[in-house]
Every structure is written in C-alpha cells, then in structure tokens.
Amino acid sequence: MYIKKILENSFSKEKLCTDFYNLFFKEYKNTFLVEIEDEISDKTKKLLLNSEEQLTAFEYFVDYQKGLGVWYKVDIAIGKFRNVDEEGIMAIEKGIVRLYFNSDLSCYDGEIYYNSMYEKRFYALQESEIVK
C-alpha cells in the first residue's frame, strides 16, 4: 500500500494530464486523429483525441536497469474507465496511453494503443445498464 501511495502522489492526475498533452498535443491545437493498434490482435482503429479527454491512471510499473537507473511506465485509460472487479478486469471506452518516465519523473516518451477486450467489455456493461 505504501508504494502505491508514493506512485499515486508522484504521478498525480495533473502531472499525467500535463505530460500527456505536452507529448501528444504539442504540435496540434485541440484535437488530432491517430491510428492505433490493438495490443491483442492485428486490428487498428482511428481515434479522434481532444485536449479535454478524461484520463485515469490504472497501472504503474517501476523498473531498474544497471547503468540506466530507475524508470517508470504509467498506463492511463483514455475516455471512461471502469474497474469491474478486484481481479483487475477493466472496461475502457477509447484507448490506453502508456507514458514513460525517467528517474527524475520527467516524461520522455509515450504510445497510444487499445485493447479490444477492454473496449468490448465497456460497451457490454453500458448496454446492460441501459437495459436494467
């Protein structure tokens, strides 16, 4: 629990939003179209992102490499996010951005992708709530 709090405090929502927008929106005004790959198949989809996207960090990675030191990865849901159960089953509306950070917490890279299972689960949950 202690490490989780340190990571959540170090990578606050404000910091992650700022780093996401600086990395991906620097060359664009408010929106841009990106083609992203499904991490579990060969499929791709086009995603229109805007500077007002809802972002939710859901997974943190810490790694150490001799000579390079500590570095971090943070996975962030783009759009609506639901953690369905305690076993880590998730539902994500649009996609995932993975940001990479140096040991000084400066963001140096990122990638956007999606997971079709998370997306299908999101829309199935949304449909079941409408039916109820």
User: How far is Cα 72 from Cα 101, in angstroms, rounded to an integer?
Assistant: 5
What is residue 86's predicted lDDT score, i.e. its pLDDT? 65
pLDDT one digit per residue (tens) for the chain, 132 residues: 688 888 989 999 999 999 998 888 877 777 888 899 998 888 999 998 887 889 999 899 999 988 888 999 999 999 988 876 666 678 898 999 999 999 999 999 999 999 888 888 888 887 776 544
Give the residue extent of every domain in the chain. 2-131
pTM of the entire structure? 0.84
What is residue 129's predicted lDDT score, i.e. its pLDDT? 64
Nearest to 48 by CA among 20, 18, 77, 78: 78
